[in-house]
Amino acid sequence: MQEWTELEDACLRCEKCGLWTTRRNVVFGVGPRDADVMFIGEGPGELEDMRGEPFVGPAGKLLDDMLSIIDLSRENCYIANIVKCRPPRNRDPLEEEQEACIGYLRQQVKLIRPKIIVCLGRIAATRLIRPDFRITREHGKWTSKNGVWFMAMYHPSALLRDVSKRPESFDDLMSLRTMIRNIKAKI
Ligand code: URA
């Protein structure tokens, strides 16, 4: 198993897909490396590309607010993306870009060994839960894979565009809080 420095160095130098040619920074991921909960988005936007940190734009501000509702923060969960470099004009990451990049996330998951992975939006859910995952129908539902609990929520950008989805996301957050409590009770 690759260790953190080796993994991060390789990721920061990565040229496995075309996105390296337009990136300003690789957005590796942030948070404690022993976090119980990981949040996975799809890929960096403009501000994230500028700062080298995930979810620092408007969607990130909303994510921070959502985390604080259930007493989570960047101090106690790990935040990363399916692709580590910004797709031009914030388009969806292409299949081959996801394929080229997913190994870094898989190594991060192996090293962190989270108990819970929350997929933010369709791209993360179809990549990490099931290729035919339907976010509108299946958000908030739990699946266990290899000892890790997975759940998907609407992407914070979707919640900025369509506030009518927010009550459902609130319910998903409550469900996440319950799952975290149940897991802690078992430790
Ligand atoms: N959207 C994402 O999916 N990830 C980020 O880091 C920022 C916005």
Residue 138: which CATH number?
3.40.470.10
Q: Which of 96, 103, 109 is nearest to 31 (CA)?
A: 109
pLDDT, residue 44, reads 98
- Residue 89, phi-psi category: left (phi > 0), alpha (psi -120 to 50), beta (remainder): left
Q: How far is the CA of 25 from the centre of ligand 1 (A)?
A: 14
At 49 the pLDDT is 98
Q: Which protein residues touch ligand 1 with a CB less than 6 Å away?
A: 41-45, 48, 54-55, 57, 59-60, 81
- Report the pLDDT averaged over residues 162-171: 98
pTM exceeds 0.95: yes
pLDDT class for 186, splitting at 50, 70, 90?
Answer: confident
Integer Cα distance of 76 and 51 in angstroms:
21
Q: What is the predicted pLDDT for the residue at 25?
A: 98
Report the first-to-last Cα separation within the chain, whole angstroms: 25
C-alpha triplet 47, 134, 109: angle, nearest 5°: 55
Average pLDDT over residues 112-122: 98
Say what the pLDDT of residue 2 is: 56
Query: Residues of the chain with pLDDT > 90: what percent?
Result: 97
Domain tally, the chain? 1
Query: Amino acid letter at 34?
Result: D
Where in the sequence is the domain holding 109, given as residue range(s)? 4-186
Answer whether residue 155 shows pLDDT above 60: yes
pLDDT tier at 187 (50, 70, 90 boundaries)? low
Instruction: Give the atom of ligand 1 at the shortest distance from the alpha carbon of 59.
Output: 8
pLDDT digits (tens, 9 = 90+) for 64-87: 999 999 999 999 999 999 999 999
pLDDT tens-place string over residues 10-69: 999 999 999 999 999 999 999 999 999 999 999 999 999 999 999 999 999 999 999 999
- Ligand 1 centroid distance, CA of 81 (Å): 7
Q: Can you tell me the distance from the alpha carbon of 172 to that of 177, in angstroms, rounded to the nearest whole number? A: 9
In contact, 44 and 84? CB cutoff 8 Å? yes
Which amino acid, 168? E
Q: Is 103's pLDDT higher than 60?
A: yes
Gap between the Cα atoms of 125 and 145, Å rounded: 13
